[in-house]
Structure 1
Amino acid sequence: MLRKRLVAAAAAALLAAAGAVGAVVAQDGPADPAVQTAASSVPTFDHIVLVMFENKKYSSINGSSSAPYFNSLAGQGAKFSNSFAITHPSQPNYVALFSGATQGVTDDTCPANLGSVSNLGQQLIGAGRTFTGYSESMPSDGYTGCSSGDYRRKHNSWVDFSNVPAASNLRYTAFPSDYTQLPTVAFVTPNMCNDMHDCSIGTGDTWLHNNLDGYAQWAKTHNSLLIVTFDEDSGTSVNQIFTTFVGAHVQTGTYSESINHYTVLRTIEASYGLPGINNAASKSPILDVWQ
């Protein structure tokens, strides 16, 4: 009888210890995403802000002393070690992330007038949600010109679609300091210097810290999400880019599954119960990063 009691006590202790370990994994997020349980759905965020930088390969950002804030930010959320752009050059990648396809765009020729093709902005508005694109250095709200100073339309995909209203195409100066006033989904495009296209990695790193760290920290406790990514790498055939998710419900860690712009689009759509459009329809949303 004594032996049975000792065995039972030992078994109970092992089960309790296993439960404690499970609790730590669930609370803190595992170092190895392979050991975590995927969520059944993407959380419905109050706000998602996506900011796109330019033309840097993953290894130029990851662990780089020139990008301390990018790496600090990724350490606060989910870093994707196998994230890829769709093609080269810039413009078709912006179109792909916004509409699920490059829509026949193969270069940076402006303007790319794409009519009423399905896109994320149109989806959100049709579902009673809101979308706004904020472009730094754009000369006026609703601007449809190809360039002005450090602004380039080729990095502003939403203006190419006739079913996204001009009221959704705003200057970055309109980005609210009261984050509760943000639309459901916001895309942010820094200008040609601050997006690293014409200036250094350090310039873009400082811009991201100065402009979006406040939102990143707020998002963690306000059911919101920041997505930081790049349009393409530095022109290689691999086209691997740096992507991170930071905010509420995110389990901190490095995630090794292969994702691309269509996967990111599908994940945003899934947050609001929207169907995948074009090539995003064949992608599964990212589920393993949520707690």
Structure 2
Amino acid sequence: MLMHMRKFSILFVLLSILCSCAGPKGTGQAEAGERVSKPQTMKPVGQNAAQSGKTAKVPDHVVIVVEENHSRQNIIGNRAAPYMNSLTKQGAYFTESYANAHPSQPNYLILFSGSDQGVHNDSCGHTFTVPNLASELFKHKFTFAGYSEDLPSVGSTVCTNKSYGRKHSPWVNFTNIPKSANRRFTDFPADYTQLPTVSFVIPNLDHDMHDGTIQSADKWLKQNMGPYVEWAKSHNSVLILTWDEDDYGSRNHIPTIIVGDHIRQAVFDQNITHLNVLRTMEDLYGLSHLGRTSGSEPIRNLWKPS
């Protein structure tokens, strides 16, 4: 009898250990609002992702808005930026997002072409012929436009006009992009179905926090991009909100927020830079990897499970 009890006790312990190791069954997907820190691999999906059953559904439209010269600490939790902070709860908010350089212009060039193209300042008048996000999109039969506030005319190459600065509109410098893709913000369509596949929106220096206040930039973003954000959530479209650089801190720690249809509502601690954002765009649309994006990973776990 004693022997049988010992065998039963040993069996019970072994079963307990096995059960505790197995853990609860589940999908392995983080729910909306959770912190996402263990990324899964996102495969390049190309144009027919919705039909092929891949991880991500290719957005019909992506709008990228770039703000200026403020760190994550300046913005997140700041009462002067209620709309921007509300976006952190509506989509993917990245707590470990970093710019690549100082000052502004190299970051815009990196986000657009995967390289600073040898530019390490805010000088004007550069000309480049290398592939970039826009030229790759056109090559693959997609569309692109850059919308800059206070640009004097479509295709203009002026360095400044009112509160417009060419240093913040990198596509102007590339000769392999048609001038018609360099547009005024007043050309941003009210009918969002008419947007190009990918577009940049560059507020002027008063509305991007460079010269104006955080509060002014927040109000401008809500007024001008808020309707698009709400539309995007149900129309297979996305907004990417990021900053060119921080307030010249040593870490260059910036906010990045992605909101839209099929985007997971979660806090991400994946370490990303402008290169990861560009790499994600490349993989979504099946584009070539530009510059340093060949050595960068796309953003992981961005999409809701289908």
Answer yes or no: same fold by TM over 0.5. yes
Does residue 33 in structure 1 map to residue 39 in structure 2?
no
Q: Give SS of 1:192's match.
A: coil
Partner of 2:211: 198
Deviation of residue 210 (structure 1)?
Answer: 0.4
How far, CA to CA, are the matches of 2:283 and 2:223 in structure 1? 30
How far, CA to CA, are the matches of 1:100 and 1:56 in structure 2? 22
Aligned residue identity for 1:102: D
Unaligned runs of 5+ in 2: 1-23, 44-54
Identity across aligned pairs (percent)?
44
Query: Is the contact between residue 38 and residue 289 of structure 1 (CA under 8 Å) also seen in structure 2?
Result: no
Does residue 81 in structure 1 map to residue 95 in structure 2?
yes
Partner of 2:10: none
Q: Give SS of 2:65's match.
A: strand
Cα 1:93/1:222, change in 2 over 3 Å = same
Does residue 123 in structure 1 map to residue 148 in structure 2?
no
Does residue 46 in structure 1 map to residue 82 in structure 2?
no
Unaligned runs of 5+ in 1: 1-17
Select the structure of larger CA radius of gyration. Answer: 2
Q: Give SS of 1:279's match.
A: helix
Could you tell me the TM-score, scaled by structure 1's length?
Answer: 0.89
Cα 1:37/1:102, change in 2 over 3 Å = closer
Cα 1:290/1:251, change in 2 over 3 Å = same
Deviation of residue 22 (structure 1)?
Answer: 5.0
Aligned residue identity for 2:259: V
Deviation of residue 35 (structure 1)?
Answer: 6.4
Query: Is the contact between residue 262 and residue 283 of structure 1 (CA under 8 Å) also seen in structure 2?
Result: yes
Aligned residue identity for 1:33: V
Give the 5 Å matches for 1:1-291.
Answer: 28-29=31-32, 31-34=34-37, 39-40=42-43, 41-114=55-128, 116-291=129-304
Query: Is the contact between residue 91 and residue 107 of structure 1 (CA under 8 Å) also seen in structure 2?
Result: yes
Q: What is the aligned length?
A: 271
Deviation of residue 271 (structure 1)?
Answer: 1.0
How far, CA to CA, are the matches of 1:106 and 1:286 in structure 2? 26
Q: Give SS of 1:241's match.
A: strand
Could you tell me the TM-score, scaled by structure 2's length?
Answer: 0.85
Aligned residue identity for 2:35: D
Deviations 1:243-277 (A, max 9, x none): 00000111111100100000000111111111211
Select between 277-286 and 175-184 the one with higher mean Cα deviation: 277-286
How far, CA to CA, are the matches of 2:280 and 2:269 in structure 1? 16
Aligned residue identity for 1:134: Y
Select between 272-281 and 123-132 the one with higher mean Cα deviation: 272-281
Query: Is the contact between residue 239 and residue 258 of structure 2 (CA under 8 Å) also seen in structure 1?
Result: yes
